[in-house]
């Protein structure tokens, strides 16, 4: 297994997992705080995410300790499950229980609990499971080679994130042309990954690499643009709290960078 700056692919993935679970929790906190934690289940992502964060840090410090890896595996699986259950909650509270129900589907999708957001925790949890499995010496998860499994997680997540971002950018009427960015390289990356997995060709590898690199950069552009988005709200950054609560999702664009980095790690270090 190749290394980069002294760490192998799994340790890098572990570090990315720790960073991304933090990002996911920040956005979840903003969204759940905004709705006043009206439902007790809204605390769950912080319990689950916090556990993943602790486990990832421990696994980072002690990558060869069986108990640490066991913890990462369990918390990762917990994250996957929490995300799925969370999506159910978002569906129920965001659509089913709202006035008009499915008759107002598009309205509810745009204005209430973001339907796909909880799956971000599932994706990070899946990465944790993958890292734990790898560090324990296994070369495959559920019979799928680690590299392929990681690429699949990355591709599905990028596609989902692009879908969720497009929905919210549609709500914002694509008021800035850069709001089309999630529809560009993230979607193409997600589409190119199966091509790579199925053909293992040089061109496919090159394309996926370039697309991941571009996606990595786009995430940072997104972060900057979302900051600018807060500033374009009433009062701008001088009234930061309400504008952060009501404006674009603060850390969401970083997930594109994070998962693109995870994809590059999988390509070259696994």
Which residues are at the interface with another protein (CB under 8 A)? 99-101, 103-104, 106-107, 110-111, 170-173, 175, 229, 232-235, 242, 246
Q: Are 2 and 9 in contact (CB under 8 A)?
A: yes
Q: How near is the Cβ of 174 to another protein at its closest, in Å? A: 9
User: Which C-beta is closer to another protein: that of 101 or that of 145?
Assistant: 101
Q: How near is the Cβ of 232 to another protein at its closest, in Å? A: 4
The distance of Cα 228 from the centroid of its chain, to the nearest Å, equals 22
User: Which C-beta is closer to another protein: that of 138 or that of 175?
Assistant: 175
Residue 103 CA to residue 69 CA, distance in Å, equals: 46
User: Which C-beta is closer to another protein: that of 97 or that of 138?
Assistant: 97
Q: How near is the Cβ of 95 to another protein at its closest, in Å? A: 13
Sorted by sequence, the CB contacts under 8 Å of residue 100 that are 6+ apart come out as 107, 108
Q: How near is the Cβ of 27 to another protein at its closest, in Å? A: 19
Give the SS3 label for residue 38: coil
User: Which C-beta is closer to another protein: that of 109 or that of 255?
Assistant: 109
Question: How many residues comprise the chain?
Answer: 270
User: Which C-beta is closer to another protein: that of 175 or that of 199?
Assistant: 175
Alpha helices in the chain (DSSP H): 9-34, 44-61, 66-91, 105-111, 119-135, 146-171, 185-199, 202-232, 240-246, 252-269
What six digits make up the tokens of 75? 């918390």
């Amino acid at each position: 297994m190749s290394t980069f700056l002294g760490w192998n692919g799994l340790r890098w993935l572990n570090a990315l997992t720790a960073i991304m679970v933090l990002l996911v929790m920040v956005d979840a906190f903003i969204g759940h705080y905004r709705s006043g934690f009206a439902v007790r289940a809204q605390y769950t992502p912080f319990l689950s995410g916090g556990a993943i964060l602790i486990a990832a840090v421990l696994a980072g410090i002690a990558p060869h300790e069986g108990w640490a890896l066991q913890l990462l595996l369990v918390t990762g699986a917990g994250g996957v499950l929490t995300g799925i259950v969370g999506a159910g909650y978002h569906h129920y509270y965001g659509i089913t229980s709202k006035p008009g129900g499915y008759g107002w589907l598009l309205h509810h999708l745009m204005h209430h609990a973001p339907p796909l957001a909880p799956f971000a925790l599932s994706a990070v949890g899946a990465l944790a499971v993958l890292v734990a499995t790898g560090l324990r010496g296994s070369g495959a998860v559920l019979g799928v080679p680690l590299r392929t499994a990681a690429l699949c997680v990355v591709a599905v997540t990028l596609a989902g994130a692009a879908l969720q971002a497009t929905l919210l950018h549609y709500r914002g009427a694509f008021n800035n042309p850069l709001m089309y960015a999630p529809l560009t390289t993230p979607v193409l990356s997600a589409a190119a990954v199966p091509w790579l997995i199925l053909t293992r060709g040089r061109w496919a590898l090159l394309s996926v690499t370039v697309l991941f690199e571009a996606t990595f950069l786009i995430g940072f552009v997104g972060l900057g643009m979302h900051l600018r988005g807060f500033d374009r709200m009433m009062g701008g950054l001088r009234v930061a709290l309400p504008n952060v609560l009501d404006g674009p999702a603060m850390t969401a664009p970083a997930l594109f960078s994070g998962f693109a980095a995870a994809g590059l790690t999988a390509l070259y270090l696994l």
